[in-house]
Structure 1
Amino acid sequence: MNPVLHKIVETKHEEILQAKGRSLPARKVPIRPWESNLKTSSISVIAECKKGSPSSGVLRPNYDPVEIASIYESSGAGAISVLTDSKYFFGSLTDLASVAESVSIPVIRKDFIIDPLQIEEAYSYGASAILLIVRILTPKELSSLHSFAKNLGLAVLVETHNKEEVKIALGSGATTIGINTRDLDTFQIHKNLIEEIAQELDDSIIRVAESGISSFNDWQKYKGIVDSMLVGTYFMKSKDIAKDFRSLLSGI
């Protein structure tokens, strides 16, 4: 495991120990439909609220997740991803709750989830879905966490980075599979990975392209191959999110 990723996971273990025994708030919003919002006649967009990252630092100094989420929803996003990691991505569970309570489309908690407590938090703070990353879990852990989330009524996006991880994801019961072109060990982008993997997945699977998406050319390249694109950095660096959202889908 990459040293940065290893450090993040170690931090998660520490955070989970500190959070044990804390009471969680009552959920305030219904669980929003996931599949129908992502699997449409075109490529849907999972638009991300992300203040920064370990590799880029702060991406958006004037970060207002509720304002950003409102623009995403009005622009036609199928779902919204909210980074909740505080130490490395400058997010929070408060961000998650604020966004979930301000929009009517599903919101996914994006974090490094390794424990059922984090899934309970996601549910309590209004998420309709969670992210599970194959790279940081054993197959047994992945299956257990996937089942735990589904039993709470949450959808699960299982993130993969190669064909072997896709097999593990499918073995866990995953029905939404993310193909991340950014290798978590090297942080390099493998541009053809999505074409190589997505076309081998059954149409019953919701296929999500992740990382490195920044132009209408990407949308054209993935049309007919994936069901959805998760887009974060492109929007976070934008001076006019609504305009660049339209440009991503139309080239105008």
Structure 2
Amino acid sequence: MNILEKIAADKRVEVATQKEEVPVEVLQLLPHFKRKCISLSENLRKSPAGIIAEFKRRSPSHPDLNPEAEVEEIVKAYEKFGAAGISVLTDEAYFGGGMEDLSLARESVKLPLLRKDFVIDEYQIYEAKAMGADVILLIAALLNEKQIEKFSKLAKELGLEVLLEVHNREELDNSLMPEIDMVGVNNRNLKTFEVDLNTSKELAAAIPEEYVKVSESGISDTAAILELQKSGFQGFLIGGNFMKTEDPGASFAAFMQQLNKENQ
């Protein structure tokens, strides 16, 4: 069993418990459930930098990334210094996150929020909407074609945008749906955790123009962004590069200052 399969197995148990504790009918009564979502895809199209800055405390590849990080201060800095959107890890077992982080982020900023998690059940989509997310992530390596279709249609019904994550051409060809807004190419192989930015470059031309192209993982300098922009990428999901530092907000500010200088 590889790490992705293990995460999925654990997630099924977690979601089953959560369904019993907080049914969908209760989620639908929460204030954010009726909130109009903010478009991440529009922000990325308009942004010269297109950074989706990520909040996470740890990951399987970096178990001690920033375990004591507080979400409010960091997401406010992300917003202040020019992020186009913010990704919030809500998986607890492997990333040290939770739905409370998403809720606190929603109360702290006006940017579009991506709920970053391993979606394997429709319940999680209702949950994302209820807790203030604007976008959900669907991982092609984790889902079959019918699941991606069902989940993306439900997301659109609830007013959420969809970021589809792929790792190779086969996943891309089998997973594109009209309801998808953005296609993210994960440069990190979720089975081996090896990172290769060429994954984004090789898949760029195969992603139809109607989808916003997002490059994910392994981006640690502004040069990588400038190079990927040449391949048509408008979004860049970056988390570990900032979160591994003592002050993620300050690290993000310095990164954006350098990027804006190079983009002039």
TM-score (norm: length of structure 2): 0.89
| Match for residue 211 of structure 1 among 213, 217, 222 | 217
Structure 1 residue 247 displacement after superposition: 4.0
* Structure 2 match to 1:188: 194
Query: How many residues were matched structurally?
Result: 251
Which letter maps to 2:138? L
The answer to whether the aligner puts 1:53 opposite 2:59 as a matched pair is yes
Which letter maps to 2:46? T
* Structure 1 match to 2:244: 237
Structure 1 residue 154 displacement after superposition: 0.1
Which letter maps to 2:112? P
Give deviations 1:39-62, integer Å, cap 9, x for gaps.
Answer: 125231110000001221121133
Once residues 61 and 201 of structure 1 are traced to their aligned partners in structure 2, the CA distance between those partners, rounded to angstroms, is: 36
Structure 1 residue 242 displacement after superposition: 4.1
Structure 1 residue 182 displacement after superposition: 0.5
* Structure 2 match to 1:134: 140
Structure 1 residue 171 displacement after superposition: 3.9
Structure 1 residue 243 displacement after superposition: 4.1
Which letter maps to 1:189? V
Write out aligned runs for 1:72-221 (5 A): 72-171=78-177, 173-221=179-227
User: Counterpart of 1:53 in 2: which secondary structure?
Assistant: coil
Which letter maps to 1:239? E
Q: Percent identity?
A: 37
* Structure 2 match to 1:4: 3
Kindly report the root-mean-square deviation, in angstroms, between the aligned alpha carbons of the 2 structures. 1.7
User: Where is the helix percentage greater, Structure 1 or Structure 2?
Assistant: 2
Kindly tell me: are residues 167 and 88 of structure 1, through their superposed partners in 2, closer, same or farther at Cα, counting changes over 3 Å? same
Once residues 171 and 26 of structure 1 are traced to their aligned partners in structure 2, the CA distance between those partners, rounded to angstroms, is: 29
Once residues 234 and 100 of structure 1 are traced to their aligned partners in structure 2, the CA distance between those partners, rounded to angstroms, is: 22
Once residues 55 and 193 of structure 1 are traced to their aligned partners in structure 2, the CA distance between those partners, rounded to angstroms, is: 19
The answer to whether the aligner puts 1:38 opposite 2:37 as a matched pair is no
Asked if structure 1 preserves the Cα contact closer than 8 Å seen for 2:201 and 2:228, the reply is yes
Unaligned runs of 5+ residues in structure 1 are: none
- Is 148-157 or 11-20 further displaced after alignment? 11-20
Which letter maps to 1:3? N
TM-score (norm: length of structure 1): 0.93
Kindly tell me: are residues 243 and 20 of structure 1, through their superposed partners in 2, closer, same or farther at Cα, counting changes over 3 Å? closer
Asked if structure 1 preserves the Cα contact closer than 8 Å seen for 2:220 and 2:241, the reply is yes
* Structure 2 match to 1:18: 17
The answer to whether the aligner puts 1:227 opposite 2:234 as a matched pair is yes
- Is 164-173 or 180-189 further displaced after alignment? 164-173
Structure 1 residue 201 displacement after superposition: 2.2
User: Counterpart of 1:57 in 2: which secondary structure?
Assistant: coil
Which letter maps to 1:110? K
